[in-house]
Chain A
């Protein structure tokens, strides 16, 4: 990445305004790149591919494709340490969610999230609590748990979340090659 030259013609100056309109992304433009967030981020400490300050810089510059089609926006652990320390109140984990929402619209979603939504749709929970689990619960003297998958499914149907995660949303060009890890 360090050797790449940024082609100014490919920059999209409207990208930051697009992010600012997403809930959570309102304070993107306040960032003045002080580096407090990247200095405290536990993920960045291990893997410098996830560098919140750099992601924000790329977004502000308008490197739309690089930001939306890359996997690093999915790596925020939501520990909120940067959120507490940012002097400009950029609210970085919320910002990451906002960028993910836009990426999702373009058809880029990490398969894990799709899996989660499918699991909820299937079991009403992230992890199945079916007969097997309930038997164990009874052994412990714990009351059984009802599987509320019907109710959850009705809500999902109403809000049409699966249209998003199944990539059925209209508009936007899907990320060409990479997608996600």
Chain B
């Protein structure tokens, strides 16, 4: 498993702990995946911004990111729903030859050409397929599976009740390549359960957090109001922590709870949760960057005891 981690914008700026968690759990001490470093990635770029303004720029900028990976014989793995959605959509659009040519004409200005990744040669013909864009949830589920993750758990989070929030852009729209069943997704819940915790059922489980599409920045009150509805369902179900696969959803839940002044439920990224379950020391996981204090949850984790 060769992965190239795509960090995006929100993680390095706001939650570097998420990136660190991901590196650690994928690293040689735990799951042992091979990480290919690319530090010239830029913004994915964010779909709502560019679809509202200029699609061509979006596709060219996304293509540039894909070009950086195409010859590295690695999968591009994101830790953010937005990046996942944007880059995956770009690989699909670039399958159209005309669009691809157009994009390459623009990429020439930065000395790049998108071809896709080389899969095989037939005579003197090279066969390319689109760059593989994956989300960390799906990569963990497919490449390691419940058993693979459970194997590495040193500190099972038994008895801890987790509210799983898949977010919107991991599951939808299903007209692009669908990864998990949008009506009844299982991947993230399985990862949480592999860590030993209980994935809590609550109404409106697939609802939006409210931050996306630019709403958080335009009308934060509206975003918070949407989050509040979901928060109430989560709270009523009796939850120790909210786990998500998207730093923007993380940010939204984190901030909204502060703004709404509700009983705080800590919010974690799946990488951070798994890192805890693998026995990694919490101080490496960047929890000080979270708004809602994660300490109460860490106490509960400690109380479970070590294997």
Q: Do A and B bind each other?
A: yes
Q: Which residues in A have some Cβ–Cβ distance to B below 8 Å? A: 23-24, 42-43, 45-47, 74-81, 83-84, 91, 93, 97, 100-101, 104, 109-110, 112-113, 115-117, 120, 124-129, 133, 136-137, 140-146, 148, 151-152, 154-159, 161, 164-165, 181
| B264 touches A (CB below 8 Å) | no
CB <8 Å contact, A145 and B7: yes
Q: Which residues in B have some Cβ–Cβ distance to A below 8 Å? A: 7, 9-10, 12-14, 16-17, 19-20, 23, 37, 39-43, 45-57, 60-61, 64, 106-107, 109-110, 168-169, 172-175, 182, 206-208, 210-215, 217-219, 222-223, 225-226, 229, 284, 286
Given the known interface contacts A74-B218, A142-B19, A148-B40, the answer about A127 and B182 at a Cβ–Cβ threshold of 8 Å is no
B194 to chain A, nearest CB (A): 26
CB <8 Å contact, B60 and A159: yes
CB <8 Å contact, A42 and B207: yes
Given the known interface contacts A100-B52, A133-B12, the answer about A140 and B20 at a Cβ–Cβ threshold of 8 Å is yes
Assembly CA distance A144 to B41 (angstroms):
11
CB <8 Å contact, B46 and A156: no
CB <8 Å contact, A75 and B218: yes
CB <8 Å contact, A81 and B208: yes
User: A42: which B residues are within 8 A, CB to CB?
Assistant: 207-208, 210, 226, 229
CB <8 Å contact, A181 and B53: no
CB <8 Å contact, B214 and A113: yes
User: B43: which A residues are within 8 A, CB to CB?
Assistant: 120, 124-126, 152
- Listed by A's residue number, 20 A-B pairs whose Cβ atoms lie within 8 Å are A42-B229, A46-B229, A74-B214, A77-B213, A78-B168, A79-B172, A79-B208, A83-B173, A100-B52, A112-B217, A117-B53, A120-B42, A120-B49, A128-B13, A129-B13, A136-B16, A158-B60, A161-B53, A161-B54, A165-B53
